[in-house]
Amino acid sequence: MLLTVPSPKFLNAAPRFLFFTGKGGVGKTSIACASAITLAGAGKKVLLVSTDPASNVGQVFGLSIGNTITDVPAVAGLSALEIDPEQAAAAYRERIIGPVRGLLPEAELATITEQLSGSCTTEIASFNEFTTLLTDDDAALAGFDHVLFDTAPTGHTIRLLQLPGSWTEFLDDGKGDPSCLGPLSGLEKQRTMYAGAVAALADPARTRLVLVARAQRSSLAEIARTHTELAAIGLTTQHVVINGVLPRPDACDPVAHAIYDREQHAIAHLPRELQALPVDYIELKPTNIVGLGALTSLLRPTSADRPFDAATEVAADLDAAPLSALIDELEPQGHGLIMCMGKGGVGKTTIAAAIAVALAGRGHQVHLTTTDPAAHLTDTLTGHLDNLTVSRIDPAEATEQYRQRVLDTKGAHLDEQGRSTLAEDLRSPCTEEVAVFQAFSRVINQSRRTFVVVDTAPTGHTLLLLDATDSYHREIARQMGEQTSFTTPMMRLQNPDETKVLLVTLAETTPRLEAEGLQQDLQRAGITPWAWVINNSLAAAHPTSPLLARRAAAELDEIAAITTTHDRVAVVPMLPAEPVGITALENLAASTPGVPTPIHH
């Protein structure tokens, strides 16, 4: 396979706006920065804007940027701007709450504040911040030929912006669904501006979307979903960048050859949705992409590796933190809820399946389930094991049932226009979160008798919504039905004796920061994660090829940042073979990877 040439296709005839999107850890910030340098090097004036909560644009360039347009001295024609999502969300909340402070009871203000505390508010507030960049309403931007965005607005955000313009009155009349409408309370006066921004996003003459992924099945599946979701709402001009592709290894390193073969297989079996899109391949670099020199070379083929002493630079006692140690602690209780949480692409499904297989192999009854629409537990297991039951909570099915129930109850006494507005309102993507939690609540009850292992639980934002007090909580309970208990499931999730939350991440900066953000979300909901799992660690695999050994050394600081902060951590090595199938999962959960734990059938 030929890798990318110095002029990648996604930069050819670049429009004014380029959006780089992808899951944490795929390298979209580095690709965005390198693209900005390339365009500036061609004599263009370029503004690089980051809306990523884990943004390290300033760190990449070695300077402090912040929320004002800042020139990058080392690159003529390049400026940068970092929109702090938390600051944006705080300002957004204040614009909504400020006018009614002192007019409403404190309990009601607290409920409104909680409604505005989740990820929906952060997404919309960030979109609010760069709307003027898309609509050319800011004279300071007139001189820029290109504006590059690190992290595009998701289909989730855009769908929220497209909800009915009359929803405020609709809610006031008690007709609407409040699952995620709190964040929308600041939108009414800006709908015209938002419409212009959405139109700019959908205009191929002005906007191009760059979907960044790694050469991994899960990562490619993620951007395939993103492609479909954004194309469905008019954002059709898209390019794919597969980043960090390992060149054909020369060294006799089984890990390197296994990774190469696995990546080539993933590329050869690109998801059908992506096959018609232009694709660029960016080679894996031996070091972290920090500094102008590394960024300048990112879009060019890798030069020959320099000699590297792997033994001295990668030495670390990572073998002392196997996944089996966590399983040893989980086992004695004989039952309980185990929730594997984390961002997309970190391997939650694999870790959940490995834990379930290990516990079932030790003679315990285990129910393994997922709330992840992209998860394929049966593909991961590829077999049957005594004591293990596998199921899947289908988000689409749960959401449709929830919508129909609301329409049948609250919509029963509405006129045709009212029902139509209610039906449109229920298309809010956060309706799915609430619906999934209802199905998830039924699964929780089983953990009193057996082990229930959940791959991808509801977000901390959803838990907060469902645990909100006073009128908001009562409204949620009323909509979901009188027969379903909501307090009891929350109490179980908050009880560390009944529930163990495992945060799954990678030994990379962005996934680690995202996991820390998720932990804060959970803690606000009264849930304290029990352990961290660092998955797919190169350092723990002890590679010998020069390129991978240098990459492994770069992981050590990230691993140390986690192990020095959290008491209970497992480090799972990257394995030569993808952990698919019962035997491979047994191996992953073994005390020493490569030596399967004894299984009792």
Type of residue found at 178:
P
Percent helix / strand / coil, the chain, rounded to 5 = 50, 15, 35
Whether 29 is a known active-site residue: answer yes
Pairing of strands 531-537, 499-506: parallel
> Which one of 22, 25, 118, 244 is the catalytic residue?
25
Instruction: Give helix 470-480 / helix 429-444 axis angle, nearest 10°.
Output: 80
Cβ within 8 Å of residue 104, ≥6 positions away: 112
Supply 143's token pair: 């001189």
Whether 9 is a known active-site residue: answer no
The CA–CA distances, whole Å, from 281 to 208, 278, 443 equal 18, 10, 42
Cβ within 8 Å of residue 121, ≥6 positions away: 89, 92, 93, 182, 183
The CA–CA distances, whole Å, from 69 to 78, 204, 494 equal 10, 26, 43
> Which one of 22, 24, 27, 344 is the catalytic residue?
27
Contact 392, 141 (CB under 8 A): no
| 147 secondary structure, DSSP code | E
Residue whose tokens read 């003529």: 76
The distance from CA 314 to its chain's CA centroid, rounded to whole angstroms, is: 29
CA gap 352, 23 in Å, rounded: 20
> Which one of 21, 22, 52, 336 is the catalytic residue?
52
DSSP string, 52-69: -TT--HHHHHTS---SS-
> Which one of 21, 23, 24, 29 is the catalytic residue?
29
Instruction: Give helix 119-135 / helix 85-97 axis angle, nearest 10°.
Output: 100
Query: Measuring CA to CA, which residue among 24, 34, 22, 25 is closest to residue 60?
Result: 34
CA gap 270, 276 in Å, rounded: 10
Query: Is residue 87 classed exposed, middle or buried when 0-12, 13-18 and 19+ CB atoms within 10 A define those classes?
Result: middle
> Which one of 4, 21, 30, 350 is the catalytic residue?
30
Type of residue found at 143:
G
Whether 25 is a known active-site residue: answer yes
Cβ within 8 Å of residue 490, ≥6 positions away: 463, 466, 467, 525, 526
**DSSP H or E run through 59:** helix 57-61
CA-angle at 351, arms to 346 and 356, nearest 5°: 155
> Which one of 28, 175, 285, 343 is the catalytic residue?
28
CA gap 427, 42 in Å, rounded: 44
The CA–CA distances, whole Å, from 131 to 126, 137, 158 equal 9, 9, 12
> Which one of 38, 510, 537, 544 is the catalytic residue?
510
Whether 218 is a known active-site residue: answer no
CA gap 559, 569 in Å, rounded: 10
CA gap 257, 245 in Å, rounded: 12
Supply 422's token pair: 């209610």
CA gap 20, 148 in Å, rounded: 8
Catalytically active residues are: 25, 27-30, 52, 510
